[in-house]
Chains A and B, each alone.
Chain A
């Protein structure tokens, strides 16, 4: 996808963004900066699959916050404050997205120009919690090291009796400096870091990276490689969706179901290994195509996909027929359609709240949109809706895997890459990962070196939804709400 660069003066940015989002099928992709001297706003138009990059030069480190008029900008503005030292004046709560210790001695790690104005002025990170006071209100702190085997993050639940009044989420424990690392290494090696941004969605990350690079230098990907990429993305989706349903069974206390889904998830990981050699599809997708051709193993892949489809029927039907499951998931963790739209939710969380947005339908990657399966949309916005969307997508993806395997063409699997990327160019890759819309945005300098690499993980949009969905629910339902969103910590902390 070619992307146009549009200069937007600071005074007009907020109004332009409000007008843009007023149209139903237009979206905000991300807001970031290149070096701290400007704002970069990526906006997407699903009607004609186009994107624009708005460039807003800043004359000071403080600008007028967009969040009051565009609520979904709030996390982006918090990240700008931490990573670039650009402060959004008038932001309702400029809470830090990083841990104070995350970049010791390196305040604002992505800023490469000098600070403008008094650096102490308002650039301190805010790590405070919102406290609820009143008779009988108490706090439950959870994390960063969780009881189960999951990534670290801190949740602070303010409760009255068994009801959650407010949930505070603090992330940033996993900050590894991924975005800056991607500008420091040779671009040929960048794919290994890009897919480690969120290793459980390695295929999606690698495809987004590859598309962004390919769009810069007009590389055509052979058709067979497009098939293999699509297979990788769908195998990953099936695998992780089954994993999420299994995790939900654990939280609901149904160990028989959890054991069976875990076994089936193992089979999908074996499918991933058949395709790529790795159970997590690592090191498979590269700019220009894919790194290995699974050749004869595709037959075995098809056989396994049929077995998984068949063996999934009983557990999934048992899950949705069970009255205890309904008891724990109906009207729990609700997100209304209007809230979902205002927060810019993506993926299963959006489709569970009645928003028909799936990047596979709108933005070209792999064999999409030609081969995109019918979109599963539920309107209730509760935990059950998200589960239904997820299980429908498992079926849809398994069908798609078989269709792709029936029609796969022969030929080469990778094309030649240039020695260097073109100078002063923008590349964008938009992929529907199993969690939702994933964006990689690359800017090169005049020599063709990557000067800025932005990653917008789907969970970037969806974390706020968990904080809202958990409010008013029972403490015991918090794990169920959390699992239903299936959020990534490492993809957001970067």
Chain B
């Protein structure tokens, strides 16, 4: 009876609104304000301060300067937000952040080249249900956020997405972590064990580029060049809503 009244006292906790904006106190991901002015290569505070070399400043058209930010490398440390004298960088509190194309994570203050996202060929097959095998390769925070998507607040299963225990039953492999040499063989074998057609989702900055671990002797450089990636979810770690966004993108429902 006590437990029943406890349950009733909380009502339904599941969020109805999909991909809500993050509250203002979250740091979110940085974004380059379109068309913003950059002082140029003399300044370069942002480039110098970025711990993962995600920012480059270069000469653009007509004497202007181009600032590019690679969200696939960004760990949202927020240093660039405070460093820029022209406020080129702004916070992006959206949770609908997953993309299908690696190029779409490259942000710039110059007019963007339109990237036509690769439409997954199997879009219709997975539209109503997606079985996902999660392979963690080294980031406990990302794993934890993936696990959180299954809780009553986010309730992943209402979207027809189910996390499975074996790659044999999986339509998609969701990878977290920077993928050092020690895990590469295990991941390859997991991928090969999944039946075709199969999708690969890179969840988190580490899985996309290796993040802070990139370039070391353990070759923890993320999925690039190892498996064909269908969906990229930036963030270190990404918010559970962003992970759901990536999964729904993989299903072809967004």
- A interface residues (Cβ-Cβ under 8 A, vs B): 98-99, 101-104, 106, 109, 144-145, 147-152, 172-178, 180-181, 184-185, 189, 192-193, 196, 198-200, 202, 243, 256, 259-260, 262-263, 265-266, 269, 273-274, 276-280, 282-283, 291-292, 294, 297, 311, 314-315, 318, 488-490, 493
Write the nearest CB–CB distance from B175 to chain A, whole angstroms: 11
Chain B residue contacts of A283, Cβ below 8 A: 27, 75-78
B236 touches A (CB below 8 Å): yes
**Can you name 14 A-B pairs with beta carbons within 8 Å?**
A102-B180, A145-B133, A147-B166, A149-B163, A152-B135, A173-B137, A176-B218, A199-B141, A263-B10, A277-B27, A277-B78, A278-B26, A314-B2, A489-B140
Write the nearest CB–CB distance from B226 to chain A, whole angstroms: 13
Chain B residue contacts of A104, Cβ below 8 A: 181, 219
Q: Determine which residue in A180, A196, A265, A311 has the highest number of CB atoms from chain B within 10 A of its CB, and name it.
A: A196
Chain B residue contacts of A315, Cβ below 8 A: 6
The answer, among B3, B13, B183, B219, for a CB contact under 8 Å with A152, is B183
Query: Does the CB pair A314–B182 fall under 8 Å?
Result: no
- B interface residues (Cβ-Cβ under 8 A, vs A): 2-3, 6-7, 10, 13, 23, 25-27, 51-52, 75-78, 133-148, 150-153, 163, 165-167, 177-178, 180-187, 190, 206, 211-213, 216-220, 236-237, 239
Cα of A262 to Cα of B14 in the assembled complex, Å: 12
Query: Does the CB pair A202–B141 fall under 8 Å?
Result: yes
In the complex formed, the residue of B with least CB distance to A280 is: B141
The answer, among B6, B139, B185, B239, for a CB contact under 8 Å with A490, is B139
A152 in contact with B236 given A181-B216, A314-B6 (CB within 8 Å): no
Write the nearest CB–CB distance from A326 to chain B, whole angstroms: 18
Q: Determine which residue in B52, B78, B144 has the highest number of CB atoms from chain A within 10 A of its CB, and name it.
A: B144
Cα of A147 to Cα of B170 in the assembled complex, Å: 12
Write the nearest CB–CB distance from A109 to chain B, whole angstroms: 5
A291 in contact with B186 given A145-B135, A193-B212, A280-B141 (CB within 8 Å): no
Count of chain A to chain B residue pairs whose CB atoms are closer than 8 Å in the complex: 177
Query: Does the CB pair A181–B213 fall under 8 Å?
Result: yes
A200 in contact with B217 given A172-B182, A192-B77, A263-B151 (CB within 8 Å): no
Q: Chain A contact residues: over half helix, strand or loop, or mixed?
A: loop
Chain B residue contacts of A149, Cβ below 8 A: 134, 136, 143, 146-147, 163
Query: Does the CB pair B75–A175 fall under 8 Å?
Result: no
Knowing that A176-B218, A181-B212, A243-B144 are A-B contacts, what are 9 other residue pairs whose CB atoms are under 8 Å apart, sorted by A's residue number? A99-B181, A149-B147, A192-B51, A265-B148, A279-B145, A279-B237, A283-B75, A283-B76, A315-B6
Cα of A202 to Cα of B7 in the assembled complex, Å: 33
Chain A residue contacts of B78, Cβ below 8 A: 277, 283, 291-292
Query: Does the CB pair B153–A263 fall under 8 Å?
Result: yes
Cα of A266 to Cα of B240 in the assembled complex, Å: 11
Query: Does the CB pair B76–A266 fall under 8 Å?
Result: no
Query: Does the CB pair A109–B217 fall under 8 Å?
Result: yes
Write the nearest CB–CB distance from A482 to chain B, whole angstroms: 15
Query: Does the CB pair A173–B239 fall under 8 Å?
Result: no
Write the nearest CB–CB distance from A375 to chain B, whole angstroms: 26
Cα of A491 to Cα of B152 in the assembled complex, Å: 29
Cα of A378 to Cα of B58 in the assembled complex, Å: 61
A263 in contact with B152 given A101-B182, A277-B26 (CB within 8 Å): yes
Query: Does the CB pair B141–A200 fall under 8 Å?
Result: yes
Query: Does the CB pair A175–B218 fall under 8 Å?
Result: yes
Q: Determine which residue in B133, B163, B182 has the highest number of CB atoms from chain A within 10 A of its CB, and name it.
A: B182
In the complex formed, the residue of A with least CB distance to B7 is: A256
Write the nearest CB–CB distance from A184 to chain B, whole angstroms: 8
A176 in contact with B213 given A256-B3, A262-B151, A274-B25 (CB within 8 Å): yes
Query: Does the CB pair B236–A282 fall under 8 Å?
Result: yes
Q: Which 10 A-B pairs have the closest CB atoms?
A: A277-B27, A199-B141, A147-B165, A262-B151, A177-B216, A99-B182, A177-B218, A200-B140, A102-B182, A189-B51
Write the nearest CB–CB distance from A88 to chain B, whole angstroms: 23
Cα of A263 to Cα of B184 in the assembled complex, Å: 34
Query: Does the CB pair A173–B236 fall under 8 Å?
Result: no
Write the nearest CB–CB distance from B95 to chain A, whole angstroms: 12
A199 in contact with B165 given A145-B135, A149-B134, A174-B137 (CB within 8 Å): no
Query: Does the CB pair B237–A280 fall under 8 Å?
Result: yes
The answer, among B140, B151, B217, for a CB contact under 8 Å with A199, is B140
